Amino acid sequence: MKALSQKRRHPIAGLALLLLGLLITGGLYSVASTMNQAQASNTGSSYSAEDITEGEKLFNANCATCHGVEAVGTEDGPTLIGVGAASVNFQVGTGRMPMQMQGPQAQAKPNQFSDEQTAQLAAYVASLGAGPAIPEEQYLDTDHEDVDLGNGGTLFRVNCAMCHNAAAAGGALTRGKYAPPLAGVSEQHIYEAMITGPQNMPVFSDANIKPEDKRDIIAFLKHIEGQGSPGGASLGSLGPVSEGLLVWTGGLAVLIGFMVWLTSRSS
């Protein structure tokens, strides 16, 4: 036992453990880097070298002022390395980028780039590092035979309604920010928002909500959008609070009007 204890305390043992730890750490880092590079390669595999080159030109002319050369970021804009093609397609496709002015939240507006130019910008950013890719068409098909509107409604109410309102009419957040209404937003942009988490929105990866479930949510949103407001005026779709306020205000106005009419008749 004494001899074994002495071997454990041998000066070379500490060095051997250190080398072993470095070898293990280096091996794990090498495996992770290889997987990341493979993912980046797969993400950009659908883009040609010409798309990436043209996208870089567009980026340098329109985006580098805030996001920096090679998208490394500046004080005015975050780095875009690793945000993926889906983030670019959402931000540029909805007109949020480029921003008109600095503010608490980028405003949706008519987009400044064509679909081809948007795809080229997405190709360039995707080539810089792995990130969420543009969703496949099968997950945007709200008429798919496997779509479950009930499941989509449940998932929306559990994960999204606290910000976007149960009727997807949007809602106010803190410090001048807000959750926008979802009516009129394309299926692709809704899906991309879920996987990229723009602004205050959390990221819903496939580990949180499966692609099929995201499709159900989108189908539910399109379903209620098509329903309109069967009860009449939507009153902002704010629910019983706004409806009760309208009834109270309207009823009070009618009561006051009746009292004025009654007193004028008696005089």
List the binding residues.
Answer: 63, 66-67, 160, 163-164
106 neighbors 94 (Cβ within 8 angstroms): no
List the binding residues for heme c.
Answer: 63, 66-67, 160, 163-164
